[in-house]
Amino acid sequence: MNSKRTLHLLAFLALAGTALTAPAKADTTLLNVSYDPTRELYQEVNQAFAKEWKAKTGETLKINQSHGGSGAQARSVIDGLEADVVTLGLSYDIDAIAEKTGLIGADWANRLPYEATPYTSTVVFLVRKGNPKHLKDWPDLVQPGIEVITSNPKTSAGGRWSYVAAWGYALHHYDNDEAKAKAYLTGLFKNVPVLDSGARGSTTTFVQRGIGDVLLAWENEGILAVEQLGKNQFEVVIPSISVLAEPPIAVVDKVVDKRGTRAVSEAYLKFLYSPQGQEIAAHNHYRPRDPETAKRHAKEFPEVKLFTVQSLGGWHALHKAHFQDGGIFDQISGVAKN
Amino acid sequence: MLATKSSVIPGFGPTLGYTLFYLGLIVLIPLAALFFRAAGMGWEQFVQAAFAPRVLAAYRLSFGGAFIAAAINVVAGLLVAWVLVRYEFPGRKLFDAMVDLPFALPTAVAGIALTAIYAPNGVIGQLLRPLGIKVAFTPIGVVIAMVFIGMPFVVRTVQPVLQDLELEHEEVAASLGANRLQVFCLVILPNLLPALVTGFALAFARALGEYGSVIFIAGNMPGISEIAPLLIVTKLEQYDYAGATAIAVVMLVAAFLMLLVINTLQKWRQSRFTAN
């Protein structure tokens, strides 16, 4: 207890120290407002990019990062948090910033390759070592007695991708019969005991508090949990079919123009597409876009049958049907009538 | 009328002015902004946002849970205060100080600690599991968190009154032939009632607004274990500012009315008591 407290104190002092000294050294600072599970990814990206920028321009760059549920982060930006770039979990959230504030041009998705999504991921199952409940694929999750951990699809990007993955599976499986797909989701959410508001919260619930039999997770988050938190405690199970998750990035136009950071912000986002940026993404368990990098890491990312959100009608249609008040998610959780 | 009475601190005018200014700045302006926002919605839109089935379920949990928690705290808090005031025992000062801990502890810490203990694999949760009782991630967990954060309010309002209560009253009652139950119900309780009611109101209000500790242990399933403050945050994260405001206004008005009723009841009771 005591040594722990000392450690905390030291950590706090170290943090306070960097906070005090850092701004004096940096010529330019950037703020990257991101979603929940990208902490590790952007730590590495920021370091590499700052080094490259220094070599190219001589300018010392400090990139601050902020993390939280994708919806909450977008709302902070809408409410006035001065982000130079946003790297969120869901294009819907960047659209929301663009529509509500005009801080980002409406054509943001067309400014960078792959509709401004430099890496992809998918939704996988994280289960306990040895997979004691034999959870192999989507139908296993609705068995009675199975506890499924996921985050709130209304607020969390990870939760929303997981929900859409389950929905897409059900539509494929039941030949686009929406009533049957709805019944599947109802069964699935009947097995959910806790609904955290962000993906990292769900991971903590599953991994550290030991709640639940399976976590619906971002692939990167699942692999990270296995790697960092206990190789002999968890396993990643890849379902037969899942969703192609495409987390988008954008420069916040009005902020960078005001702060005079457009050039460096745009270079920062382009860096994510560079061979080095792609390598860092792959290294952090995001599926790279670049075919060469993908080939090198093919072993780590098993091939899965992936469907896109566009094939389900796109985010706006999905949002309207599922996540608005009284929508399908409210119906399956029993708080709205069919 | 009051101003003509001489007082230790001179200057009724400036102090009243300061009080109004201070209350206005700290309390009224933010609340007025809330109503202003809500007024921007149409009536129909407001009703739809503030009284949807999911929202009603959240009110039920928040108000019901806060009521139950405050009721539990009144009984348990009275007991704690009684023991601390009436008995001498080793470590009394220590226990006395511990009562304030829920005040000082960051609520998130309290929530995480309670969840760890009451989760199915936690120290207490493990014991309850075979009995088929689930605490964490159910409404029971919500009530437990609310009891935890509300407890000091009852103890700290009852304690000073209990200290000032003269033992002679009880002795007189006993010498006149009252048994212990009669002494407690007819002599002690009426004296403590105002403090208990105040403690109840404070604990209730605190539990109603509590967010940090509850969301960890609640489970947060819509319609089952989702409290109203969480729903407000959730609405904000869905960019539904109007919806969040509507819920906030309903909670504010309901809480205000309840506190008003409690205070009025107490005034009425006090005047009756002194008249007797």
Domain annotation covers residue B58:
no
- Provide the pLDDT confidence category of residue B275 given band limits of 50, 70 and 90: low
Q: Does A100 touch chain B (CB under 8 A)?
A: yes
Q: How far apart are CA B56 and CA A332, in angstroms?
A: 17
Q: Which residue of B has its CA nearest to A190?
A: B221
CB contact under 8 A, A211 and B121: yes
Between residues A109 and B104, which one has the greater pLDDT?
A109
Q: How far apart are CA A84 and CA A75, in angstroms?
A: 15
Lowest mean pLDDT among A34-38, B36-40, B213-217: B36-40
Instruction: Give the number of domains in chain B.
Output: 1
Of A154, A326, A336, the CB nearest to B238: A154
Of B120, B219, B237, the CB nearest to A155: B237
Between residues B270 and A12, which one has the greater pLDDT?
B270
Q: How far apart are CA A226 and CA A338, in angstroms?
A: 40
A324 token code pair: 């608005």
The pLDDT of residue B236 is 86
Q: How far apart are CA A87 and CA A69, in angstroms?
A: 12
Domain boundaries, position B116: 64-225
CB contact under 8 A, A326 and B52: yes
Q: How far apart are CA A271 and CA A257, in angstroms?
A: 20
The pLDDT of residue A16 is 44
- CA count, 13 A, side-chain hemisphere, A100: 17
Contact residues for A214 (Cβ-Cβ < 8 A; gap 6+) = A125, A126, A127, A133, A135, A141, A146, A147, A148, A149, A237
Residues of chain A predicted below pLDDT 50: 1-4, 6-7, 9-24
Contact residues for A298 (Cβ-Cβ < 8 A; gap 6+) = none
- Sort out which chain A residues have CB atoms less than 8 A from B238's CB and list them: 71, 154-155, 323
Q: What is the CATH number of the domain that holds B102?
A: 1.10.3720.10
- Domain architecture of chain A: domains with CATH: 2-120+246-296 (3.40.190.10), 123-243+308-332 (3.40.190.10)
Q: Is the dihedral of CA A149, A153, A157, A162 positive or negative?
A: positive
Q: Does A334 touch chain B (CB under 8 A)?
A: yes
- Sort out which chain A residues have CB atoms less than 8 A from B230's CB and list them: 197
Residue B27 has pLDDT above 90, yes or no: no
Give helix A70-78 / helix A91-101 axis angle, nearest 10°: 20
Lowest mean pLDDT among A242-251, A303-312, B131-140, B234-243: B234-243
End-to-end C-alpha distance for chain A, whole angstroms:
53
Would you tell me which residues 65-104 of chain B have a C-beta closer than 8 angstroms to some C-beta of chain A? none
- Provide the pLDDT confidence category of residue B8 given band limits of 50, 70 and 90: low
- Sort out which chain A residues have CB atoms less than 8 A from B57's CB and list them: 335
Average pLDDT over chain B, rounded to an integer: 89
Domain annotation covers residue B169:
yes
pTM of the model: 0.80
The pLDDT of residue B5 is 56
Residue B148 has pLDDT above 80, yes or no: yes
Surface-to-core class of residue A44, CB atoms within 10 Å of its CB (0-12 exposed, 13-18 middle, 19+ buried) = middle
Domain annotation covers residue B113:
yes
Q: How far apart are CA A74 and CA A89, in angstroms?
A: 10
Q: Which residue of A has its CA nearest to B216?
A: A196
